[in-house]
Amino acid sequence: MPPIGVAVAAVLFVIGVGALVIRRDLVFKLLALGLINSSTILLLISLDAQRSTMAPIVPPSVMTDVADPLPQALVLAAIVISFAILALALVFVMVLAERYHTTDALRIERAVARETKP
């Protein structure tokens, strides 16, 4: 049976994809992308969780199983990169909202189509 973290990550992923497909508001779409990313990070953490290991900060004289720090570093890098991408996307949404006075993706698409018509 999979750990509870894997099941929670799957539920959060499905909710995020559903919100991404159903909602038209760009801010909600960004929140859904953040939820999908968080569920992926939770999945990686849950799969690598091992209760019988110690932190890799131990004296050399202690011989015990230590956790591999590489997945932890990769997850930390993923969190930072995700934050930067979501912040940049939010700035783009703010620019679109200022220009078209809406965050509705369909209205913005229609306005762009009217602007590009000859």
Tens-of-pLDDT digits for all 118 residues of the chain?
A: 467 889 999 999 999 999 999 999 999 999 999 999 999 999 988 887 767 777 777 777 776 777 777 888 889 999 999 999 999 999 999 999 999 999 999 999 999 999 998 7
Identify each DSSP E strand in 1-116 by its residue range: none
What token pair was written down for 12?
């959060």
CA distance 72 to 23: 33
Helix (H, G, I), strand (E, B) or coil at 94: helix
For the whole model, what pTM was predicted? 0.83
Q: How far apart are the first and last CA of the chain?
A: 60
Give me the architecture of the 4-50+66-116 domain, per CATH.
Answer: Orthogonal Bundle (1.10)
